[in-house]
Chains A and B, each alone.
Chain A
Amino acid sequence: MTLLFRRTRALEAQIDQFLDAVSEGCLVFEQGIADYMRGDRESFELRRRSIGAYEGKADSLRREVETRLYAESLIPDHRGDVLGLLENLDNVIDEAKRTLSQFEVERPEIPEDLAPDYVTLAHASGEAAQHLVLACRAFFRQITAVPDNIHKVYFYEKEADRLADAIKRKIFSADLELARKIHLRYFCLHVETLSDRSEEVADRLAIYAIKRTA
């Protein structure tokens, strides 16, 4: 029995580590935005580096898992779906890393009254990503729990849409230069995009889950 599952267990552990990396990366994203809004540049810089490390770890784990799935001809009927899932999930943490990098490069000046709104938006986007990771874990271990988590992804994506819309309205009704308004809207879009990516992956996952139970 041990022999039968030895290779399987190692690969299971790698998939779990990949999901951990994505989840932790998205938590760091939320904290990074909060640090930036507080003006704590030192802490923000630590978060930015940290998310880069998580993204790198997720990338290398994904490649290892993909190689082993193909090399050992594992799960032939769901291999394509699993690979698609891992690659799209990797795009989510890439998006989080890119957003923090944009903050670091462009250093947008966020008005004080808007800062808490950006933090709330980052939290909603982060929650969407966290529930996506939970849905992915369920896909591997408990397929019946996938819909429970997917509907939360959709909920937080809509919440992020609503918050982003409110922020943009505030921006464009404020007494600011147009260039700054556009710059602030641009960062609102950046923060919101994490939830959009999560929703895209959740859409795919819903189909994969149906295929597994059909």
Chain B
Amino acid sequence: MIQGSSTFIHVGQIHVDTSPFAISTILGSCVAVCLYDRTLGIGGMNHYLLPFWNGNGLQSPKFGNISIPKLIESMLSRGASIKTIEAKIFGGASMNITATETMMIGQKNILVAKEILNEYKIAIVAEDVGGQNGRKIQFDIERGKVLLKYTSRSDCEIGR
């Protein structure tokens, strides 16, 4: 049972909060990175649609390479330390079978998360990525645990 309040995040949102709190989202080919600082009980989650910002439009956190550094920065500004932050990553499914060969959005989204986290020297302690199913996740900041359920195809429309 989740203690405290909870929030739902959409594509392009970042939420960082302190225990007790829960953050949830639905993912298709999108990826969510959950960061957790065990010593301080600070946790954060993002939800991005595409791997790279292409220099056009706003530097929106719907792009992985914008969203992940922003999430890390928000964690740090809350007092978390790189040394004690650990990461869990979810999503990146191949939602559209026919487009997988050319687009591979899900795969690129996963790759970008791994690359950037590696660069910041943040360990990925758990992941459930790829595949063909959407996911519903709920990040319980009090325990630092993520609850995950696979979704039916119709639900995935919401998660993209």
Are A and B bound to each other? no
